[in-house]
Amino acid sequence: MLILQAERDALLKPLQAVTGIVERRHTLPILSNVLIESVHGQTNILATDLEIQINTHGPATDSENFRITTNAKKLQDILRALPDGMPVSLDWAQNRLTLKAGKSRFALQTLPAEDFPLMSVGEEVSVAFSLPQEAFKHMLSQVQYSMAVQDIRYYLNGLLMQAEGNQLRLVATDGHRLAVSCATIDAELPKAEVILPRKTVLELFKLLNHPSEPVTVELLDNQVRFRCNDIVVVSKVVDGKFPDFNRVIPLDNDKIFLVNRTQLLGALERAAILANEKFRGARLHIRPGLLSVVCSNNEQEEAREELEIAYQGAELEVGFNIGYLMDVLRNVHVEDMQLAFGDANRSTLFTIPNNPDFKYIVMPMRI
């Protein structure tokens, strides 16, 4: 039975939108598959790992209604390997999906669609708002690198999304550094907050690729739904209490100066070559007119970088994980950053001059 005919890209693009969440090895083999179904000529493509579910529209078809599942990565890899614009057809018979393209033939196994486990999606929307994809992606880029990775404090392995009034706030922390990004939205919302899982955040960042189009965010019961570009993402939220981030923002750091972001990043990247591979420590030495970055390792090797700065305050030396400093400079694309230091035991605050919407706090380390 011929179920679909389309150009390679018309099938590959929607498939790529959903397959990022598919695990290659799963306790349920069918979760390595993608569900392809057609109802009245409208093709839908869906993937899930039972924590997050993504579905989108595929190319239209003249076929009668059908529902099949087949291996997501294999189908995607085959389509990727075909030339651009190549006409593709899919035939389904006797639990086999045959993909034909020119003189190429690929026979893939299918599993029964009725065995494919779909997430149960809540009906009631408690909060909903929209903003341009460009704005939301910009916010994500400013904070997502600060999420924890496999921390025992599971609520840190994600990102806090907080809405109140006309303000949207995203916060991420791994316990050693914290990033906050804010934006004004065209809405008046009750206070609501959810913790988005790390996987959802990373997948969403990839999908927000139409800057001027909106993304709609809907909070459901223990779930959040995002709609963008004909794609619907439903994700469970992390059950837990995110730490009160306002308490860790240092308000009285008095050693303040501006520094060129790319110059400081270059100095850190060069100095990091000789940093201790395990501890990744760097010493920042501030004195009037000068910022020094020093890294050393167990082989008695040392790197020293110096930058001129407009600073006339007291002298200070403080240690940091150099990776935490480079992360913020790589992800916040501005010309200058403002650094505010307290003492050697106090967190340092990175901000954007004349912009209250971004804050990055990094704790010092003993070196």
Query: What is 173-223 written as a DSSP string?
Result: E-SSEEEEEEEEEEEEEEEEEEEEEHHHHHHHHHH---TTSEEEEEE-SSE
Residues in CB range of 69: below 8 A, 6 or more apart: 30, 33, 34, 35, 36, 110, 111, 112, 113, 115, 116
Q: How much is the mean pLDDT over the chain?
A: 96
Nearest of 79, 111, 114 to residue 92 by alpha carbon = 111
Mean pLDDT (whole number) for 72-99: 96
Query: 216-234: buried (b, 16+ CB within 10 Å) or exposed (e) per residue?
Result: ebbbbeebbbbbbbebbbb
pTM for the predicted model, two decimal places: 0.94
Q: What is the pLDDT of residues 39-73, one digit of tens each?
A: 999 999 999 999 999 999 999 998 889 999 999 99
Walk me through the domains of the chain, giving residue ranges and CATH numbers: 2-115 (3.10.150.10), 127-247 (3.10.150.10), 255-362 (3.10.150.10)
Model pLDDT, residue 23: 86
Contact 120, 222 (CB under 8 A): no
Nearest of 4, 17, 217 to residue 125 by alpha carbon = 217
